[in-house]
Amino acid sequence: MPLGVISRLLRSTVSRLVALNALLLVISMVAGALGGWIATRGVVEREARNRIELESHVIALEAQRGGLDRALEIIRAKAERPGSPEYYLVGPDGRTLIGDIQIVPRKVGWHFIDQPPPQPGVEGVHLLAMTRRLPDGSLLIVGEDMERSEAIRDAVFGAILTAGGIALVFGIIAGLFATRQTLRQMKRINVTVRAVERGDLSARTGAPVDARTDLDQLALAIDRMLDRIDTLVATIRRVSAEVAHDLRTPLTRVRHSVELALAQHDEELRSAALGEALAGLDEALRLFSAVLDLAEIDAGNARARFQPIDLAEIVDRVVDAYRAEIEASGRNISVSLAREALVAGDADLLARALANLIENALKYSGEHARIDVSVTEQADTLTMAVADDGPGVSDCEVSEMLRPFGRLDRARRASGNGLGLAIADAVARLHRGALAFARLQPGLAVEIRLPRAPAVTAARILDQVD
C-alpha cells in the first residue's frame, strides 16, 4: 500500500476510532483474563482442598476400622489411579510406610510444599498438602500437585488470549478496510464540494437514491442541496435578465423623453416630455417594488405577523375596491362566501394576492365577462377563488404564468410586469397553502387553497369579534 494512502488512513477519524476500539478491546481482554485468572485460582485451590480433605478423611476412617494395614491397602489402591493425589504415611515409630515426599511437614494442618526436582532438567512439584494425625499416632499426609490444575487453567486462558488476539487482528484489518471505504466516500464528497467552491454548480457526488449508509445519506443530502442551489442561482440569473429586459423599455422611454425635453423650446411640450419621463420612472419603480415584495414574501419573515383573520372580510373589502372599475368596464361580478372562513395569516398579503387575481381577470377575461369571487370550505381547507368566463388558458401555459415575469404572448400587449400570479403563488406558499388552476368551459378559475385555522385560533377570533 502506498505511503500516501497509509498516511491518509492514519489521519482519518475512522482509523482513530478503530485504534481506540482496538485499545479498549485489548484492555478489556487483559482485564478480563487477569480477573478470571485470579478468580479461578481461588476456585481451583478450594476444590483441591476439598478433595484432599475428603481423601484424608476416608483413609483416617479406614485406619480407625482396620488399622495401618488397612490404611496402606487403601492408599496403594488409590495411588494406582491416574491423577491421584500424593500420599505419605509415617508410622508411630517414625518409620516411613509409604510415599516419596521429600519434605515432610509434621505439623498438623495445611501446607504448601515445594519439592525439589528428582533429577536435573525436571521441574519440581508444588504441592498443597494436609497433615493429619491418626488415632494410633501415625502421620498421614495427602497432597495434590497444583501445577497440573494451574497448567490446565493457564492453557484455557492462553487459548482465550490467543483467540482474542486473532479477533483483534481481524478487527483491525476490517477497520482499516472500512476506513478505506469511508475515505473513498469522503473523497467523493470533498471533490464535489471543492468543485462547487470553484464555481461548478453542476458537480454532484453521485450518491445512490436509496442511500443506506450515513455517508451516502450525507452525500445524497448534499446533492439535493446543490440541486436546490443550482435552481435558485438559475432563477436569479433568469430573473435578473428579465428585470433588465423589462427595465429597458421604461428606461429607454425615460431617456427619449428627457432628450426630447432638452431639445424643446416650447414649455408645454417640454412639460409633456418630462411627464412621460416621470411615468417611465414610476413604471421602473413599480417593477423594483414588486420584485422586492416577492423576495420578502419568499423569505417567510411575514409569518411572525400572522394573526387569526376572516377571509370573508378580506374578500368583501377587496371586491368593494374593484367593484366600480369592474362594472364600468361592462363586466359583472358576484361574491359567494362561506360562513366560517377563519385562517391564520397576514391580511394585507392575502388581500394583495386576491387583488392580483381580480386584476388579471379584469385584463384578460374580455368584454361583458362575468367574474365570480368565492370562498368555499372543504374539511380542513378553505379556498379563495376568482373565476371568469373568458378565453382561459391551456395546461402547457400554466407553468409559464406562474413563473416570475412570465407572460403569455396574448398578454404582452396589456400593462403589467408578469409578477402578479407569482406574488399570489408566493403568498399561498407563505400561508402553507397552494395556488391552483381550474379550467372552466369556458373560462378559468384561479384558486388559493389555505389550511383552516385550528379550533383554538377560531375561538380566539370569535372572542375578538364579540
Question: C-alpha grid cell for residue 97?
Answer: 510406610
Among the residue ranges 186-190, 305-309, 412-416, the one predicted with the least confidence is 412-416
DSSP 114: E
Q: Which domains does the chain have, with CATH numbers?
A: 3-152 (3.30.450), 214-299 (1.10.287), 303-465 (3.30.565.10)
> What angle, rounded to 10 degrees, do the helices at 395-402 and 420-430 form?
80
Find the length of the chain. Answer: 466
* DSSP one-letter code for 1: -
So what's the pLDDT on residue 369?
A: 84
* pLDDT for the residue 286: 75
pLDDT cut 90: percent of the chain above it: 7
Helix axes 13-79, 3-11, angle to 10 degrees: 80
pLDDT higher than 60, residue 410: no
Angle at which helices 267-299 and 420-430 cross, to 10°: 30
Instruction: State whether residue 427 is helix, strand or coil.
Output: helix
- Residue 105, classed as helix, strand or coil, is coil
Average pLDDT over residues 307-316: 90
What the block records as the C-alpha cell of 438 is 381550474
pLDDT higher than 80, residue 426: yes
Tens digit of each residue's pLDDT (9 = 90 or more) over 23-33: 777 777 777 77
- Confidence label for 123 from pLDDT (cuts 50, 70 and 90): low
Q: What nine digits make up the cell of 201? A: 454548480
**Taken in order 315, 319, 320, 321, is the CA torsion positive or negative?**
positive
User: What's the DSSP call for residue 289?
Assistant: H
Q: What average pLDDT does this structure show over 14-21?
A: 68
Please report, rounded to a whole number, the percentage of residues in the chain having pLDDT higher than 70: 82
| pLDDT score of 118 | 62
Give 183 or 205, the one with higher predicted confidence: 205
- pLDDT over threshold 60, residue 409: no
67-71, 157-161, 228-232, 380-384: which range is least confident on average?
A: 157-161
Contacts 24+ apart (CB under 8 A), 144-153: 144/48, 144/51, 144/52, 144/85, 144/86, 145/86, 146/44, 146/45, 146/48, 147/123, 148/83, 149/44, 149/47, 149/48, 150/41, 150/44, 153/37, 153/40, 153/41, 153/44
pLDDT score, position 456: 41
Predicted confidence band of residue 77 (pLDDT cuts 50, 70, 90): confident
pLDDT value at 76 more than 70? yes
Place of cell 402553507: 432
